[in-house]
Structure 1
Amino acid sequence: MRSLIFTVLLALFLSASTYVAVAQEPLQLVTLDYPPYEYKEDGEVKGVAVRIVREIFRRLDRKIEIQVLPWARSLKMVEVGRADAIFTVYRTPERELFLDYSLEMLIPQEVSLFTRKGFPLPNKTKLEDLINYRFGTRRGVSYGDKFDQAVESKRIKSVYRATEGDALIKMLLSRRVDIIPFNRLGGYYRFQRLGVVDDIVELSPPIQSVPSYIAFSKKRKHKSLRDQVDEVLREIRADGTYAAMTNYQLVQ
């Protein structure tokens, strides 16, 4: 009898130890190269959204590891459960099948259309007036439901895709495409870094302002953690931390 009790207690102890060890493992977060929100520089993951995410998990006392990967690969990793969470991700019906989205927006992203300087356009520059031009987009990236639906319904007839943001800009300047959509802040960041701000024209008005989120892999069953993240997001907005972290000054 004593031997049986000892065996049961030992099994419970080992199970508890294993649980603690697993719980202490860093959460694996994935994102894309999308400055100034998230990017890798000198081996360190940086950016406006990264600062917010790090602060959230610091307050939750949870260790995290962030990888910057091609966007399609990041989405696949959370879909199959090889990563715990992904940011900054737009909400789409397809992604809701495998992601538990935070209910609180992580950061808003205003999407604009850009063309090269001197390119002849009609007086009206709303999306519906431009559907017959050649568009360039980034593979696997959503630009909000308004633009995405125009592509899916084939109202926008010519769409050429690039893997990286810089490649997309080069496609525009080399005249392979006429118009590219871009997160406004991210677009200007890249234009400045490439030294092509004066060669590119932003069309007005912007397509839309799209909320982006942190979302968790349904395979990893993180709904409770998702709720904690929402609570901290509300907290850092209320105490002024969020405003301080997102005060990115764009030099134009």
Structure 2
Amino acid sequence: MPTRCAPLVLLALAAPAAALDLQEVLACDDGAEWPPFTHYLRDAQGKPSSELGGFSVEVLQQILGQAGIKLRLELLPWARCQREVESGRYLMALNASYSQERDARYWLTQPYYRTTHSYFYSRRHFPKGLPITHLADLANQRVCGVRGYNYEAYKVPVEKIDFGARDFAAVVAKLHLGRCTIGLEKLEIVAGYRITGKDLLADPDLGHAQVPELPPGEFHMMVSRQHPQGEALRDLLNRGLSTLRSSGQLQALQRRHLPGG
């Protein structure tokens, strides 16, 4: 379970909330959790509490807290979370990879962490691995993905992806059953599943490799364009992220939460 941060240096946000009329931000994230970025905190026996933590949660709490704004975060099915943010009922989501569609529908903050694009396969069916040496090779595989997730970076036609899984643990089960040849996910997320009690990388039958020809995947916070405070909140978040980065606090949080820092 993540330990608590020591008090951090106050963020020097320009005009912290002058452009905002917000006392609270209602945000959502993936109901399946997105460890180690957003997840339920657990006790020593692994039992989840109702309290949420993780890298992204602490980053957002730091920025909003210094602006005098309270965070109310709820985990919803990811597809529903995106719809709620788009409609303006929820003001933002914490973890979103880039796509042109998302850039048009939401205000995206600057990227604040990077991940390793990876593909996963079952050694029960492919004990010697798979002949994937180029990004284009992914489109020749039977791909399993998670409902509502963004796979634009992998250049696989969306109609060729099986979106029947609610989380990546379900994708792994489908790989072992032979229903698909590969599952696509960020290595940091699959490693982070151990926080939830599902140590997927401990499975000796689960193989993985980095997707060739893809740079690291960048993640943003995603703010509603329909909410009248959305653009001003995006600007506040960008100022906060810049301050955290220049002060070294963002990197310190990464070292504490992310595998390998």
Same fold (TM over 0.5): yes
Separation (CA, whole Å) in 2 of partners of 1:98 and 1:133: 30
Task: Provide TM-score, normalisation by structure 1.
Answer: 0.80
Query: Are the aligned partners of 2:123 and 2:206 in contact in 1 as well (CA < 8 Å)?
Result: yes
1:94 aligned counterpart, secondary structure: helix
Aligned to 2:259: 250
Query: Are the aligned partners of 2:123 and 2:129 in contact in 1 as well (CA < 8 Å)?
Result: no
Cα 1:242–1:68 shift into 2, 3 Å: same
Residue type matched to 1:194 in 2?
K
- Residues 59-68 or 121-130, more deviating: 121-130
> Number of matched residues?
224
2:100 aligned counterpart, secondary structure: coil
Residue type matched to 2:175 in 1?
L
Query: Are the aligned partners of 1:112 and 1:208 in contact in 2 as well (CA < 8 Å)?
Result: no
The equivalences for 1:98-113 within 5 A come to: 98-102=105-109, 104-113=110-119
The equivalences for 1:13-162 within 5 A come to: 23=21, 25-32=23-30, 33-40=33-40, 41-102=48-109, 104-118=110-124, 119=126, 120-143=128-151, 145-147=152-154, 149-152=155-158, 157=160, 159-162=162-165
Question: Which is greater in Rg?
Answer: 1
Query: Are the aligned partners of 1:134 and 1:160 in contact in 2 as well (CA < 8 Å)?
Result: no
Give unmatched runs, 5+ long, in structure 1.
1-21
Task: Provide TM-score, normalisation by structure 2.
Answer: 0.77
Residue type matched to 1:37 in 2?
F
**Shift of the alpha carbon at 1:86?**
1.1
The answer as to 2:205 corresponding to 1:199 is yes
RMSD: 2.3
**Shift of the alpha carbon at 1:74?**
0.5
The answer as to 2:238 corresponding to 1:230 is yes
Query: Are the aligned partners of 2:78 and 2:149 in contact in 1 as well (CA < 8 Å)?
Result: yes
Cα 1:130–1:214 shift into 2, 3 Å: closer
Query: Are the aligned partners of 2:191 and 2:199 in contact in 1 as well (CA < 8 Å)?
Result: no
Aligned to 2:185: 182
Query: Are the aligned partners of 1:37 and 1:48 in contact in 2 as well (CA < 8 Å)?
Result: yes
